[in-house]
Amino acid sequence: MALIVKKFGGSSVATTEKIMNVAKRILNEKNEDDKIVVVVSAMGDTTDELITLAKGIAKEPYLYTREMDMLLSTGEQVSIALLAMAFKTLGHDAISLTGPQVGMRTNNVHTKGKIMGIEPKRVFDELEKGKIVVVAGFQGANDLGDITTLGRGGSDTSAVALAGALKADVCEIFTDVDGVYTTDPRVVKGALKMQEVTYLEMLELARLGAGVMQPRAVEMGKYYNIPIHVRSTFTTDTGTIIREEYTMEDKNHAITGVAHDCDVAKIAILGVPNTPGVAHSIFSALAADNVAVDMIVQSIRTAETNITDMVFTVSLDDLAQAKKTADAVAQKIHAAGVTYAENVAKVSIVGAGMLGSPGIAAKMFGSLAEAGINIEIISTSEISISCLVEGTKVKEAVQIIHKNFFGQ
Ligand code: ASP
Ligand code: MG
């Protein structure tokens, strides 16, 4: 017997025909004594349509976050009712339950709720009665019993958290890709599907620009130590399993994956006096203005002049504010000037244990050199190395790095 949580996103349940297909597939794959919980999103673009509806009433509907939650949570309720009916018409008993009914407790932040705890007694009771339990993703309730939502795309998080609370054997996330790849398959045709990847590496890949799984859902998986199986809605092939440790002894490759991120801008504060407290002045001003800084380098021009340049990156969204803040600070600390560039991008490699293997960094830098791509900034973490390169070259950078590490 296995207890399995399966999550199907909006595109997998976009029509009644698709809902029937989901139900048939689940029944086909189910072993007699398996206990199945299915978490679903709203049908197709329903959530967007509900937001449009609200805009017909209020110009800024997100000013009324409690009412938005009341509205948006209805999308998932349509899917659970229809899917539960689908199971019944196919001859298997099922029951639909909302987020509040499965004991999904959140904080009081409407439209961006955080899960505070889950008391899934009702789910266990219904499973015990032999029913397939169909749960509305994306929603919970605060202490007042008011319905809350978890932020756009939140039903992955609902599914993994519920799997954790139920101590399920696995949480399967069905999507339109068939797993996690060593890099974006749109950039590298020969990208390889991973059989497994650790939570930490998956989170790092997501942080550095890979867009497969919601980081919050992966964090939930890590917290509850629930394996997450990312697989295709359209095939029965095994996808990629995200878990704490690798189960296979031999990893074939020195790194796990290559990610890239074009949402980057570079700012340089030039001719900064090299004295104590200068870095603090710059970065505390940015923090006060809520600008998140990513890569940072301080370079000394010559030992004699005692003048440095401070170069850092921010996301494109933050660029306008970052420029304003940097200009003001530059004046205050008597820097020579500020320059910025939007045509930059970050290419990164991720893999546990790379810190202890200097050959890996050398191979990455060598790959970029081979392609004649200049590295502007390098930053490292325990499990990743990132290089800032010219924006127009980033795909070529991904391709050559991937080829040198993965052979294609
Ligand atoms: N229906 C919600 C959304 O579109 C939640 C989800 O799909 O995960 O954001
Ligand atoms: Mg959706």
In degrees and rounded to multiples of 5, residue 3 shows phi and psi of -105, 115
Cα–ligand 2 centroid distance for 9 (angstroms): 6
| Gap between the Cα atoms of 106 and 138, Å rounded | 11
In degrees and rounded to multiples of 5, residue 178 shows phi and psi of -100, 20
- Looking at the CA of residue 76, tell me the nearest atom of ligand 1: 1
Query: CA torsion angle for 372, 373, 375, 379 (degrees, to 10)?
Result: -120
Cα–ligand 1 centroid distance for 338 (angstroms): 41
Q: Give per-10-residue mean pLDDT for the chain (408 aa).
A: 96 97 97 97 98 97 97 98 98 98 97 96 98 98 98 96 98 94 95 96 94 89 97 94 85 89 96 92 96 91 83 95 96 95 97 85 97 95 96 98 96
Residue 111's region, left for phi above 0, alpha for psi from -120 to 50, else beta, is: left
Pairing of strands 170-175, 296-300: unpaired
Please tell me if the CB atom of residue 47 comes closer than 6 angstroms to any atom of ligand 1: yes
Q: How many CA atoms lie within 13 A of 8 on its CB side?
A: 27
Q: In the numeric block, which tokens belong to residue 118?
A: 């889950």
Q: pLDDT value at position 357?
A: 83
Q: Which residues contact 276 (CB under 8 A, 6 or more apart)?
A: none
| Gap between the Cα atoms of 231 and 135, Å rounded | 19
Q: Let me know if 402 is exposed, middle or buried by CB neighbors in 10 A (0-12, 13-18, 19+).
A: buried
- Indicate the SS3 state at residue 305: coil
Cα–ligand 2 centroid distance for 209 (angstroms): 21
Q: pLDDT value at position 249?
A: 63
Q: pLDDT value at position 304?
A: 74
Q: Which residues contact 347 (CB under 8 A, 6 or more apart)?
A: 258, 259, 260, 368, 386, 387, 389, 394, 397, 398, 401
Which of 155, 171, 174, 214 for mutating ligand 1's site (highest number of atoms within 8 Å of CB)?
A: 155
Cα–ligand 1 centroid distance for 152 (angstroms): 5
Please tell me if the CB atom of residue 153 comes closer than 6 angstroms to any atom of ligand 1: yes
Cα–ligand 2 centroid distance for 138 (angstroms): 9
**What are the start-end ranges of the H helices in 172-310?**
199-207, 215-224, 278-288
Please tell me if the CB atom of residue 158 comes closer than 6 angstroms to any atom of ligand 1: no
Sign of the C-alpha dihedral computed for residues 378, 379, 381 and 386 taken in this order: negative
| Gap between the Cα atoms of 25 and 22, Å rounded | 5
Decide if 198 contacts 184 (C-beta within 8 A).
no
| Gap between the Cα atoms of 116 and 124, Å rounded | 20
Decide if 256 contacts 352 (C-beta within 8 A).
yes
Cα–ligand 2 centroid distance for 158 (angstroms): 13
Cα–ligand 2 centroid distance for 43 (angstroms): 7
Q: In the numeric block, which tokens belong to residue 220?
A: 């939930």
**Ligand located closest to 40 CA:** 1
Decide if 247 contacts 297 (C-beta within 8 A).
no
Q: pLDDT value at position 239?
A: 97
Cα–ligand 2 centroid distance for 135 (angstroms): 15
Which of 138, 162, 176 for mutating ligand 1's site (highest number of atoms within 8 Å of CB)?
A: 138
Q: pLDDT value at position 250?
A: 61
Residue keyed to tokens 């993994």: 160
Pairing of strands 115-118, 104-106: antiparallel
Please tell me if the CB atom of residue 10 comes closer than 6 angstroms to any atom of ligand 1: yes
- Looking at the CA of residue 10, tell me the nearest atom of ligand 1: 7
Q: In the numeric block, which tokens belong to residue 116?
A: 């505070």
Domains of the chain: 3-250 (3.40.1160.10), 264-341 (3.30.2130.10), 344-406 (3.30.2130.10)
Residue keyed to tokens 């090299």: 274
Nearest alpha carbon, ligand 1 atom 5 = 153
| Gap between the Cα atoms of 367 and 399, Å rounded | 10
Q: In the numeric block, which tokens belong to residue 294?
A: 């990513």
In degrees and rounded to multiples of 5, residue 259 shows phi and psi of -120, 160
Please tell me if the CB atom of residue 258 comes closer than 6 angstroms to any atom of ligand 1: no
Nearest alpha carbon, ligand 1 atom 9 = 152
**Ligand located closest to 48 CA:** 1
